[in-house]
Structure 1
Amino acid sequence: MSTMDVPIEIFAHIIELVIDRRDLCSICLASHTLNAIATPLLYHTLDSRTISRNHNTFLCHPSSTLLRKPHLAKHVRHVTETGAVHALSPSTSDSIFDSLRLCTSLYSFTWIDNDQSPSHAIHNIITILSSLPLRALTIRTRADLGQHVWKRISDFKNLQSVAVWSMEGPPRVLQGWAEHLSHSLTHLELGRCAGVPPSILISIFSHLPLLTSLLLKGANSSSIPPILALLPNLVFLDTDFLPTSLSRSPFTVSPIPPRLTHLTIRTGSVDLLGPQNLWWWISNLVPHKNTLHSFTLNAFTVQGAIHVPRGFLLDLAKTHSLTLSHFVVGVAQLALPDLSALCYHCTEIQTIGCGVASPDVSSIARATASAHNLRTLKLHVRWMPQVASTPSHKDEEEEEEASLTDDTNPAPFHDNHMHQPSPLPALSLPSTPTASSPGTLELNSSHPRPSGDLHPPVLSWPRFDTLLSSDGLMLSNSLQRFNYNFPVNQFHFPVHRQSPASTSSHDTDSHTLADVRALMLRPDSSLRTVGMGEEIYTGRWVLKTDAGQGSEIVFEVERDLDHER
């Protein structure tokens, strides 16, 4: 079948997937038919930028093209303007204003200005936008635009999305504007709420019941629960946790929040266990059963990586076991048994990002064996020295193994700052122990889960406890031996013997390309992206053609640096 026999509608759906504007431009030049399809996509989103080359700065702006071919302006839906363009070439401002007036189908507009003094161009732009059917407005400025400009902006009605990021001047939190947007606004970003009294924020959000997405920066943490109680349709929340602003007692009953599906929390602390009441506060935001799909935590400490408490993790995993698919906590540390519990309870987990302490890749493989839908695993690994079993550990191990069989009185979840050896989750030991070597990986990812079993499979790995010594926080390395629930595994991971000195997270000798490849190719595994510190490994099946031997499908793993860091 020739390309002329393909329906135009099919071409349209294919070309919509093209991201690079250079490719769209080439498609426009291919034929009249493809030109008619690709041109609206090429002019769908326009922006302005400056390019520096050979100590010269060139301005790239689509205004001249729109003025020469006004019919193209009807395809424009999204426009981004910057103050730098108007400051570089004030003579082009008039042509920019004229071209903007032609965009009668404009849906969203973004203004970005990083200059210390506000650009005068924003006055004319606001006047033009007031006559267009605008539905989304984003303002990102360093300088304050002035009360006159903000008053004119607050006259906009029927907006569905508003984002305000003004770093200077009084905080702009839609005061006096929210009433005009009560019947339309669904997405809101307020980039600076520091210093705004909770009563004012609560009053503003009482006028915005249709919100489904909310980003708040600098808001008082104690005001978040009552704000959420006013937003029954909210599903996406991105906010800060400020421990100094949390005045509520952790035992106070909070208002019932909406059923959030995406939650992002940003915080910082001087304590490795995180800010006081952080974990209790997060749990109260997502109490509903099986609603949360994505959880992201961006946290830092001045001493190192924050530690995620086991009680919080197990509570989150069990509450949202059927829905949680993305769990990303950056460099925050999880113990390997906790990582295993997360993978076991959350059957739909697809993305995991965290920090762990592990002696080898095989321990990570055991911890993630039950996550059959896992596609992306990004770990900040602290490679620990392998520990051999000694007779002195025997009594301690037998005592702790016996304690694991009694899960009738699980330890309650306390959000405090007591540094003590981290207890292992309540695990069910098999009635007939099987002899296994702690240094050998034994797993079977296809092993069926018992009906109604709420505990992860029993594994074997070294355990790293958090202790408080006279010199500060340290990791205590002790071997924890468990009976395997898995039959002998058919996969073999290369064993890397390490000295105590090779514990750096950047020690690439602790894992090889073969390790990562074996991790991806386990049975029932969907894993295709693995991050180990700054290195990102991507695996895919490709068709290899050899002139002499024909073709074959092989699995390739490519290594690259994490450019997002």
Structure 2
Amino acid sequence: MGSTVPWNADVLDIIISHLPSRDIASLALTNSYMMACASPHLYSTLAFTFSMAREYPALKTPFSTVCAHPELAVHVRHVDISTIPFAGARFSAVFLREADEALAICDNLVSFRCSANAVIAFIPVLRDKRWLRSMRVNVDTYPHIRCAELLDLPLLSDLALDWMPVHVSHMLPVWTIILGETLTSLTIFMSASMNEDLLKSALQQLPGLLELHVVGCPQLYHDAVLGLTHLTPRLKRLSVSAKFDLAGGADTPLSLPNLQHLSIDVRLTSAPIGMSSELSAMAVATLVGRIADLPQPPHLKSLRIRAPSHSSIHFILLNQLASSFSSVSLEDVSFLDCSFDPKSLSAFAKYCATSVSLEALEIALPMRDLVGFARALSSSRSLRVLRIQHQMVAPDAIRYLLKSVPALQEIWTKNGIWTARSGDRVAFEPTVIDSHDGLDKYWFAR
């Protein structure tokens, strides 16, 4: 690759697109030709993460680089700001100025994410981005007098609003009238002011919506959201918060004929000591059962369940999944932030055996009963990928699982991907996972 003879640019572009970011950066330093080929990939996304903020201002930001080299701005398609560094008790004015100046010259911007509570500094410059289609912003302290500026943004197809205050919530139905023909994905995250009437007014303008995520909103639990899905008949992705003690939910009519991906955030307002796992399981099992029993049940492909802390995967939920989705196309299941109860091994084995389409599973390993867990996994003839959450797992345990579960091909851990080699199920090598470390991402988003 260090040859002075130029490679075919199209071929090189394809090769670079498959390389990790760190390798692309090294390749760009080889010569000016490689730099020219690598720059569109290196500067496609300008990201500022939590780890970068800890090293600021000693660390040069990608925004300052673009300001110093304006010719790079043409390559920028995505901006992702997970946090903003402080200067004393305030956000760094230098950082905000550099980011604003960089955004001003990024005319090809397609998506903008700002999880920090400072989006007001960027809205004026975003109004001129004609290619902007996706936006996630924290509007917690967005001032009432400047709400009208949001209505002047380009016609978005993907809108995510975090921590909406009352005045922004009341403006959402007006905003959706403007975005009615273009918006296909709407996310409302952690908004105490959003209620069923406001959501209904917004969804009435969005019959073509394909994705709806309403998570962490105390006035909008699963029944309120599900009761409005008849307004969005094309919905393919849905995320809701579920609680067990909601009364009268069973009578709410549902309409989810095209749903393929479901994420459930379980929230227990009150639970007796030692009962959180059982109540969480009952909440999810009830919801899953209702969806599976619809006259026109959806063909779910993925299911993500996030339980309250200190909960475990209960056999009630596993039995419901086995009876509801054993013969349909559920391919990917994730149990997030919950441990595995060894008492549920028999139900887990039954679920693995009956889920004929299950290809990927995300779960916490029960290290105290790894043998029983592996035996249960081996009941599946379709499982190919196992994702292990937030755990440091010994290589011997990885090797044991790959050896004990014939269908298993990959195990994804915190530090990389272990792959079983054909013909020799004992020789494994970890592969580094390339990702934007530190970016603030929704747990329910892929």
TM-score category of the 2 structures, normalised to the smaller one? 0.7 to 0.9
Partner SS, residue 297 of structure 1: strand
Higher relative helix content = 2
Cα pair 1:335 1:357 within 8 Å, conserved: no
The worse-fitting range, judged by mean Cα deviation, of 186-195 and 256-265 is 186-195
Give unmatched runs, 5+ long, in structure 1. Answer: 381-504, 544-551
How far residue 136 of structure 1 moved from its aligned partner, in angstroms, is: 1.4
Which residue matches 1:352? Answer: 361
Which residue matches 1:182? Answer: 180
> In the alignment, which of 279, 300, 308 is matched to residue 300 of structure 1?
308
Which residue matches 1:149? Answer: 146
Letter in 2 for 1:210: G
The yes-or-no answer on 1:70 pairing with 2:77 is no
Partner SS, residue 147 of structure 2: helix
Aligned residues: 410
How far residue 149 of structure 1 moved from its aligned partner, in angstroms, is: 2.8
Which residue matches 1:29? Answer: 29
1:327-342 matched pairs, under 5 angstroms: 327-330=333-336, 331=339, 333=341, 335-342=344-351
Distance 1:230 1:23, change over 3 A: same
> In the alignment, which of 326, 332, 353 is matched to residue 326 of structure 1?
332
Which residue matches 1:273? Answer: 278
Cα pair 2:388 2:411 within 8 Å, conserved: no
> In the alignment, which of 325, 343, 366 is matched to residue 317 of structure 1?
325
Distance 1:127 1:332, change over 3 A: same
Q: Distance in 2 between matches of 1:299 and 1:89?
A: 37
Q: Distance in 1 between matches of 2:211 and 2:192?
A: 20
Higher relative strand content = 1
Q: Distance in 2 between matches of 1:356 and 1:16?
A: 34
1:364-513 matched pairs, under 5 angstroms: 364-377=373-386
Distance 1:307 1:535, change over 3 A: farther
Partner SS, residue 315 of structure 1: helix
Q: Distance in 2 between matches of 1:180 and 1:363?
A: 55
The yes-or-no answer on 1:164 pairing with 2:156 is no
- Residue by residue over 1:389-444, the C-alpha shift from the partner in whole angstroms, topping out at 9 and shown as x without a partner, is xxxxxxxxxxxxxxxxxxxxxxxxxxxxxxxxxxxxxxxxxxxxxxxxxxxxxxxx
Cα pair 1:228 1:257 within 8 Å, conserved: yes
Distance 1:559 1:46, change over 3 A: closer
> In the alignment, which of 511, 515, 521 is matched to residue 403 of structure 2?
521
Which residue matches 1:231? Answer: 232
TM-score (norm 2): 0.77
Q: Distance in 2 between matches of 1:367 and 1:67?
A: 56
Q: Distance in 1 between matches of 2:195 and 2:302?
A: 30
Partner SS, residue 151 of structure 1: helix
Which residue matches 2:85? Answer: 84
Q: Distance in 2 between matches of 1:28 and 1:557?
A: 27
TM-score (norm 1): 0.62
Distance 1:242 1:45, change over 3 A: same
1:196-275 matched pairs, under 5 angstroms: 196-217=194-215, 218=217, 219-244=220-245, 246-250=246-250, 252=251, 254-269=253-268, 270=271, 271=275, 272-274=277-279
- Residue by residue over 1:336-389, the C-alpha shift from the partner in whole angstroms, topping out at 9 and shown as x without a partner, is 232222222222312234579898544334322242332334689xxxxxxxxx
1:523-542 matched pairs, under 5 angstroms: 524-529=406-411, 538-541=418-421
Partner SS, residue 526 of structure 1: coil
- Residue by residue over 1:462-502, the C-alpha shift from the partner in whole angstroms, topping out at 9 and shown as x without a partner, is xxxxxxxxxxxxxxxxxxxxxxxxxxxxxxxxxxxxxxxxx
Give unmatched runs, 5+ long, in structure 2. Answer: none
How far residue 43 of structure 1 moved from its aligned partner, in angstroms, is: 1.2
How far residue 44 of structure 1 moved from its aligned partner, in angstroms, is: 0.8
Compute the RMSD of aligned alpha carbons: 4.0
Q: Distance in 2 between matches of 1:57 and 1:211?
A: 42
The higher-RCO structure (CA 8 Å, 6+ apart) is 2
Letter in 2 for 1:34: M
Distance 1:35 1:65, change over 3 A: same
Which has the larger Rg? 1
1:10-25 matched pairs, under 5 angstroms: 10-20=11-21, 22-25=22-25
Cα pair 1:24 1:38 within 8 Å, conserved: yes
Identity percentage over the alignment? 21
